[in-house]
Structures are given as C-alpha cells and as structure tokens.
A and B are shown apart, each in its own frame.
Chain A
C-alpha cells in the first residue's frame, strides 16, 4: 500500500476548450448511465410516440397523425432533457456540494454551465436520432424544408427550458426540485407539448401559446408538418430564455 503518489506542485489548467469538453463528456455519460434520466429522456417519449401513432386519442388536429405526433414527441424529448433531467440533476448536485467543488476546480462556474449546455445538446441529438428512427418506422415523413427551422426551434426550446431548469434547481431544495420538475413535466404534456394548442379547450389556447411548452410544440409542428418558419414561437421561446436566464443569474444559489 505505498506506491508513488503525486505530491509536487506543478502545472496549470487544461485549455478552456478541453475543460468544457471534458465536463460535457462527463455530464453526458452521467445522464446516459442514469436509469431514471433515461426513462424520462427516452423511454417515456418513445412510449408516447408509439401510443399516439397507434391510437386515435387524443385528437391531434389536422395533418397526418404520425407527423403531428412525432413533432410533439420531439418537443417532449427536449423538455425531458433540458428541463426535467437538468433541474433534478443540478438540484441534487447542489445539495451534494458538487457545484461548489467543481466551481472551485479549474472548470469554474462558467465551465460547469457550458458543460451542461454541451451535454444537453448531445443527449437531445441522440434522442432525436432514436425517436426519429422509431417514427420513420411508424411512417413519419417530415417536410424537408422544415428541418432547418425545426432545428432552430429545438435549440431555442432547449435554451429556454435549460434556463428555467437552472432557475428552479438553484432556488428550491433538492426534494422540492424533484417534485416540481416532475409535476411540471406532466402538466406541460397537456399544455402544448404533445397536443397542438389549437386543439386545447378554448380557454387554455391563448395561455398555452405563451408558455414555452406551447411555443416549442407548435413551433416543431409548424416546421416539421407544414415546413413553415415559426417566428412568433421563436420570439416566445427567446423571451422565456431571457426571463429564465435573468432569474437564474439573479437568484441561483450554488449551495443548498
């Protein structure tokens, strides 16, 4: 029990890019190895896709059902990873002092946030790949001219939900984050994520359109089903990103 040990002082930090990539890789691996996160990020959206594709309920409005359903499930995947998964993971990392430890390391606070951003991007890309493959098998045919605006919608949606996740994770105790993040995930399913806001009860439609869930779901449906550029939905998502980001910057606490 006494082999060599590093003791002499030396060295500096890895380059910023190396640090951020290392953190993104570490966070991505942590998400992909975590059963509960995989359940929310992949298994439940895949189940939702199959159920929506093979049944007639709920009513998804005009357009081929599988196309509308796939766009909604993509939105669900973004919400699951950028919001629910990140809020819970960050909330518990805060509780366990991980944010403070990594904040004091060469990674720092900026590196930690950039690493999360990178991990969310990689996981969402994997989700879209897997869910898109399942959807294609079920007959999904997206509007080719809608791919670019759909990608923009995904990026803006992920930014908005990640900002809100960090706000929640940085202000509420871990157990509260767990409960709230799951509750919000369930509520958002019915507020424009899976079902178009036009198909919601009349009183809910205007509210849902102003929520990030409605903007993300409708934006993806407009892009992928109709090949349109959902500019008003992008504006809604940008406003939520700004609000969530400002709130997180103002109230995020690094320790529980």
Chain B
C-alpha cells in the first residue's frame, strides 16, 4: 500500500477550486516531487495531506489514515515543513528543535541534525534575526527531528545557497531511505536530482504523474513541464 494516497481530491477555497479531482500516490523509500506553477494547487494538496485543510470532495490517506483530525500517534509519524516556515520567531533554533523533539517518544539526534544542517553557528540566535535560507534549514530540521515515516516538505530549498542546497538534497535522499518524502519545488534540477517519482500539477489538476523517466518520456523535464503547463521559453 502506498504511504500517501490522493484520491479524486477536490478542495474549494471560497469560490476558487484550488485542487480539482487530483489523484496520485507516493511510496515509502522514495522521494516524490510535486511541480507546478504558482496557484497550481501544490500547497493546498500538501496541507490536505498534513491534516491542515479538509478536502471538499475525494480523500487523502497518509499511512492508511485520514489526516484530518488524526490522533497524535499519527501526527508523530509525519514531519511537516510549511511553505511559510511556521517557526516561532521569539525563540532560538536550538530551543525550538529540542522542544519539538520533546513532543516525540523517540526523537532523532537533535545535535546531529543541528550539525548536519550547519545550524550550530546560529543555534542560539533569535529566529527573528535569521536570514530566509537559515530559517528554511531550521524548518527542515524541525520537520525531520521526529524521524518521520512520511515527510511533507513544501519548497525545502527555496532561498538556500548552492552549498546548503546540496546538503539538503543529500539529507532528503537519506531520509527517503526509510520514509516517504514528498517535496514541492519549482526547480527542475532539484526534481531531477532527488525525485524518484514526479507529479506535475496545473490549474488544480494532475497534468502528469509517474517516475521521472515516465513523465519525461525521453525529453528534458523542463520541456515536458512547459508542454504540460503551457508557456515556457519563447
């Protein structure tokens, strides 16, 4: 059974249909990348999977559980990195990560994660004073500190410098050894480097889904993406 299933998902926000009859799945041990233009429905889909939004129609299953109002036992198996970070700005990265770890019975090694993501230098600084890229790394660490079985990472490398991006890619790949990792991204390079499975969304619908090879069909991902979503280089 897939770790993540999106089955005929529809999500209306006011008069706007943000996601329209979307279906795809993600397996454990793999990285699934969701690509699509702004407003394609990527973040809305992620938030339905995280239990933060309730589907208007259709359903989502994460580890065979409906995430909407799921119990703590389910939430402990799921790591979440929100697009806007979700970080309390009046604390420090170190305090935050230790706090998130305390919410889990068997958390990961906070110090190791801090070192791995090069947060030790800024670990005692107020999150309010961190750069966008530094906040991204803190948010990623907070998502992974509970050793999740499924990790939802919304644009995990947005704003990162090239060195940090490579390190984050390595970390995501390692996390996927034992977990299902779903990332949203606007980067073709990122999808090609880390994804086993690709979902391309456009105007709330799934325009393509499959392995990278299946979706690309012998062409560059960028070319396929623009062909499916309209636009591209002139």
Cα(A93)–Cα(B90), bound, Å: 10
Pairwise interchain contact B82-A97, C-beta atoms closer than 8 A: yes
**CB of B73 within 8 Å of the partner chain:** yes
Q: From residue B148, how far is it (CB to closest CB) to chain A in Å?
A: 7
Given contacts A19-B72, A33-B90, A96-B89, contact A5 B174 (CB under 8 A): yes
With A103-B52, A104-B50, A108-B72 given, is the CB distance from A6 to B103 under 8 Å?
Answer: no
On chain A, the residues within 8 Å of B132 by CB distance are none
Binary contact track A90-113/B, C-beta < 8 Å → 1, others 0: 001100111011111111100100
CB neighbours of B145 from chain A (8 A): 6
Chain A nearest CB: distance from B151 CB in Å? 10
B133 in the interface (beta carbon within 8 A)? no
Contacts of A29 in B (CB 8 A): 91, 95
Q: Bound state CA distance, A147 and B52, in angstroms?
A: 44
Any chain A CB within 8 A of the CB of B220?
A: no
Neighbouring A residues of B170 by C-beta, 8 Å: 2
Task: Write out the residue numbers on chain A whose beta carbons fall within 8 Å of the beta carbon of B113.
Answer: 5-6
Q: How far is the CB of A84 from chain B (nearest CB, A)?
A: 16
Q: Contact at A1–B85, with CB atoms within 8 Å?
A: no
In the complex, are the beta carbons of A104 and B147 less than 8 A apart? no
Q: How many residues of B contact A (CB 8 A)?
A: 50
- For B84-106 the 0/1 string (1 means CB < 8 A from A) is 11111111000100011011111
B37 within 8 A of A: no
**A14 within 8 Å of B by Cβ?**
yes
How far apart are A6's CB and chain B's nearest CB, in angstroms? 2
Interface assignment of B115: CB less than 8 Å from any CB of chain A: yes
Measured CB to CB, the nearest residue on chain A to B176 is A7
Report how far A111 CA is from B148 CA in the complex, Å.
20
Chain B, Cβ-Cβ closest to A99: B86
**Which of A10, A26, A102 has the most chain B CB atoms inside 10 A of its CB?**
A10
B77 at the interface (CB under 8 A from A): yes
A58 to B216, CA, bound (A): 78
- Cα–Cα, bound, A3→B89 (Å): 27
- The A-B contact count (CB < 8 A) is 146
Chain A CB within 8 A of B223 CB: no
- The secondary-structure label for the interface of chain B is loop
Shortest beta-carbon distance from B159 to chain A in Å: 16
Given contacts A6-B108, A97-B84, contact A11 B95 (CB under 8 A): no
Contacting pair A9 B148 (CB below 8 A): yes
Tell me whether A55 is interfacial, beta carbon within 8 Å. no
Question: Once the chains bind, are A8 and B90 in contact (CB under 8 Å)?
Answer: no
Q: A6-B112, A11-B76, A12-B73 are in contact. Are A96 and B103 (CB under 8 A)?
A: no
Interchain Cβ contacts under 8 Å between A and B, 5 examples: A6-B144, A14-B102, A22-B102, A96-B87, A104-B51
- Residues of A in contact (CB 8 Å), total 42
Q: Which residues of A contact B8 (CB under 8 A)?
A: none
Query: CB-nearest residue of chain A relative to B142?
Result: A101
What residues of A have a CB within 8 angstroms of the CB of B136 in the complex?
Answer: none
Asked if A206 lies at the interface with its beta carbon under 8 angstroms from chain B, I say no
- Known contacts being A6-B112, A19-B72, A104-B52, is A1 close to B82, with CB within 8 Å? no
Binary flags per residue of A215-252, CB closer than 8 Å to B gives 1, else 0? 00000000000000000000000000000000000000
Q: Does B100 lie within 8 Å of A13, measured CB to CB?
A: no
Bound CA span A16–B105, Å: 11
Quick check: is B167 within 8 A (CB to CB) of the other chain?
A: yes
Excluding A13-B104, A106-B76, 17 further A-B contacts by CB distance (< 8 Å) are: A5-B171, A6-B109, A7-B179, A8-B178, A13-B73, A13-B75, A26-B91, A26-B99, A96-B89, A97-B84, A97-B86, A100-B86, A101-B85, A102-B86, A103-B52, A104-B75, A106-B146
Q: Is the CB of A104 within 8 A of B102?
A: no
Which residues of B have CB within 8 Å of A107? 72, 103
Of B87, B102, B147, B171, the contact of A8 (CB 8 Å cutoff): B147
A107, closest chain B residue (CB): B103
